[in-house]
Amino acid sequence: MLIHLIQTVIVMAISILVAYLLSKPIATFIKYEKDLPYNNLNKIENFLFKFLGINKENSMNYKEYLLSLLSLNIIFIIFDTIFLMFQNHLSFIGPSYKGLSFDLAFNTAISFITNTNLQHYIGETTLSLASQMLVIITTMFIGSSTGLASSFAFIRGFIRKSNSLGNFYVDFIRSLIFLILPISIISSILLIFMGVPQNFNPFYTVNSFTHQIIYSGPIASLESIKLLGNNGGGFFGSNSANLFEDPSNLSNYFEMFLMLVFPLSLPLAFGRILGKKRGYTLLGTILISMIIIIIMAEFIKPVGVISYRFGNYSAILFNSVSMLTNTGAVDTSLTAMSFSAIIAFLFSMFIQSIPGAIGLGFMYLFVYIILTLFILGLMVGKMPEFIGMKINPRDVRLSVLVFLTHPLIILIPTALALTMGYAYHVLGSINSYTYTEVLYEFTSAAANNGSSYLGYIGNTVFFNISTAIVMFIGRYLPIGLMLAISQSFSMKDRKKGLEPLPTEGFLFLAILVFMIFLLVVLTFIPFVIIGPLSW
């Protein structure tokens, strides 16, 4: 028990330390949306922007920012869908696999561009190496860079008075070229040293007592961005439970570290800009909420041996960190987990902000802050404020809409799957366990998490199309609404002086943690009771 605690403290401490270091360049990119205070970086940027035809002087309002974001992402959805459908004609390396059906290709394209990585296929037997590299790995970079860029624009709304939030293409290039790509390359090299393969051999044939095919490929480069960008989709169908994706306990903890770095860096970057005490308050909110979820997953209902390679504690901790960061990678099958672990994972995806995925998790946290301040304002009879800016009814309505979007896009398709026979057709029966599988499927899609009970058996027209729609709405509607909230704040008058309800310090931290769990429990507990609580 003591060794487990020490290991957890070490990985968390290293994650927070690296996140603190990473928060400095992030804060710089947010504050200096046009010219950076570093001549060498400015030269590189100016060359890239000139080559790509990007005018960094063009600052966008939230509608223009969202439209630019959607345009880039839709281009990749179209490209990925076509490439996967015709991969048998487009594979320039390794053996050719047959093309995917339209519904599966469409689902996979939306899954990866939205940072979800829900996989209704078995990677090693379904995708060619060309598809793994040009579709899967490339789109992972695009999806995570989009999320990080949108958080830059979101934070700007709170630090200045303006009618614009920045230039999406500038934020995207900075996120990709100067942050995610270099860290991913370093991570890939470290993973190779830890035993993760990196080659262009699609498989090895082993002839011993039995004929065996061992699949391989550029696994290290996929693993690094899969975890660093909170993507979660594996090279193999078994994800990080596969020996090649996660060879040892050392790699297991290193992969946890990768999942945590960017989500933990954003509250610290926010603190660098608007006061470190405020940043530490938000970070403390995240860490305490994470501890609650991990305790729920690990200790309420222990199970037998679920991981011979890592041990129960490391395996459940990995899955907990993965769900908390909306990564969705698993190093142990969900079917081995107890009902309390599944409830903990579901609540991680219901909340989406402790710490949540790269960029968006931090943005969701502000929705809870606004709702908390509104409710507290009603209780004490004062107009709610945040950093000297009054929270108006429109801000509250937009926050409520963000909050309610999530249960709606989970529960409506879950009800359709159960009542129209689609779930029965795939699972063979409807009971509390199979209901949980369907609820979990759409929860992971809506939260852009991607972990799933169904896996390749979800490769049906209904589940492919329905989860694709849920993933698309669950990604882009909240981004648009949260950017609208940010621009609303960017146009407010700011007053100096004490806030009516202080939004920094331990008291606000405790209230915010309580309100986050209260709001989510009141919204989702009936559906959890008839699901995993009834096992």
Tens of pLDDT, residues 489-523: 999 988 877 777 888 899 999 999 999 999 999 99
Query: Closest Cα partner for 417 from 405, 428, 408, 425?
Result: 425
Q: Scanning the structure block, which residue is given the tokens 């090649």?
A: 244
Q: Write the DSSP string, 52-88.
A: HT--TT--B-HHHHHHHHHHHHHHHHHHHHHHHHTHH
Spatial separation of the C-alpha atoms in residues 385 and 502, rounded to whole Å: 9
pLDDT at 423 > cutoff 80: yes
Q: What is the mean pLDDT of residues 74-93?
A: 94
Task: Provide the mean pLDDT of the chain.
Answer: 92
Instruction: Please check the confidence at residue 285 and state whether its pLDDT lies above 90.
Output: yes
Q: What distance in Å separates the CA atoms of residue 392 and residue 492, rounded to the nearest whole number? A: 10
Closest among 369, 326, 318 to 346, alpha carbons compared: 326
- In a domain? residue 449: yes
Please indicate, yes or no, if residue 109 is contained in any of the structural domains. no
pLDDT beyond 70 at 141:
yes
Residue span of the structural domain in which 491 resides? 358-534
Whether 245 maps to a domain, the answer reads no
* Confidence check: pLDDT of 76 > 60: yes
- pLDDT number for residue 42: 87
> Tell me, what's the pLDDT at 211?
62
Quickly list H helices, 133-248. 138-156, 168-173, 181-193, 219-228
Is the pLDDT assigned to residue 175 strictly greater than 80? yes
222 falls within a domain: no
- Predicted local distance difference test score (pLDDT) of residue 229: 96
Q: Is residue 511 part of a domain?
A: yes
Rounded-to-integer distance, Cα 234 and Cα 232, Å? 6
**Do 422 and 461 contact (CB within 8 A), yes or no?**
no
| 65 falls within a domain | no
What pLDDT does residue 303 have? Answer: 67
Nearest Cα neighbor of 120 from 453, 412, 494 is: 453
**Residue 534 confidence (pLDDT):** 86
Name the band, by pLDDT with cuts 50, 70 and 90, for residue 210.
low
- Helix, strand counts (H, E) of the chain: 21, 4
Task: Give me the pLDDT at residue 494, please.
Answer: 81
The owner of tokens 């902000």 is 353
User: Looking at the whole model, is its pTM more than 0.85?
Assistant: yes
Distances (CA, A) of 205 to 91, 208, 212, 239, 362: 21, 10, 6, 21, 46
Long-range Cβ pairs for the range 493-498 (8 Å, 24+): 493/161, 493/389, 494/161, 494/387, 494/388, 494/389, 495/388, 496/388, 497/388
Confidence bin at 41 (pLDDT 50/70/90): confident
pLDDT of residue 302: 61
Give the mean model confidence (pLDDT) for residues 166-185: 96
Indicate whether 416 belongs to any domain. Answer: yes
Q: Report helix, strand and coil shares of the chain as percent, to nearest 5.
A: 70, 5, 30
User: 483, 150 in Cβ contact below 8 A?
Assistant: yes
Domain count, the chain: 1
Looking up tokens 């409807």, which residue turns up?
Answer: 430
Is 390 part of a structural domain of the chain? yes
